[in-house]
């Protein structure tokens, strides 16, 4: 049996990789890709805690399902925003999107 610590370290590494992508990418779609990696790391933690805690309580899996729904909503709205911005400004580089700057 794999110890819980391996899953937690794996998930922490995946979260850090996602964080690096979110902080450093210039393209708005690539930033969303990083957010997806972070959400997946969180889901691994939720499922691992379900498996290594009380298996009869389904809280970990239920929250993983809800994270799936939130991720789908986030991607739908995020990509719609990116495409809408691309139509108006012809760019998806995050540095150049300054419409909300006064």
Partner 1 sequence: MTGEQIIFLITAGFTLGSGLMVVTARNLVHAALWLVSTLFGVAVTYALLNANFIAVVQVTVYIGAIAILFIFAVMLTRRDLRDSGPQTNKNWWAGALLAVLTFAGLASLLQGWSGFSKTGAAFPSDFDAIAALGEALVSPDAYVLPFEVASVLLMAALVGAVYLAFNRK
Binding mask 31-50 for partner 1 (x = CB under 8 A): -xxx-xx--x--xx--xx-x
Using CB under 8 A as the binding criterion, the count of chain residues that bind partner 1 stands at: 74
From CA 26, how far away is CA 19, in angstroms rounded? 14
Nearer to partner 1, 95 or 98 (CB): 95
Site for partner 1, residues 2 to 21, rule: CB under 8 A: 2-10, 12-21
Determine the 3-state secondary structure of 27 from DSSP: strand
Which helix (H) or strand (E) segment holds residue 72: the answer is helix 59-89
Which residues between 56 and 95 bind partner 1 (CB under 8 A)?
56, 58-59, 61-66, 68-77, 79-84, 86-87, 90-95
For residue 30, what are its two tokens? 């690539």
Nearer to partner 1, 23 or 98 (CB): 23
Question: How crowded is residue 81: how many other Cβ atoms within 10 Å of its Cβ?
Answer: 13
């Amino acid at each position: 049996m794999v110890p819980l610590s391996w899953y937690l370290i794996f998930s922490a590494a995946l979260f850090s990789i996602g964080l690096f992508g979110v902080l450093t990418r210039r393209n708005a779609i690539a930033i969303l890709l990083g957010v997806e990696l972070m959400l997946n790391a969180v889901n691994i933690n939720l499922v691992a805690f379900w498996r290594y805690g009380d298996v009869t309580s389904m809280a970990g899996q239920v929250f993983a399902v809800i994270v799936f729904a939130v991720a789908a909503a986030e991607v739908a709205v995020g990509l719609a925003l990116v495409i809408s911005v691309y139509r108006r400004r012809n760019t998806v580089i995050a540095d150049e999107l300054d419409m909300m700057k006064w």
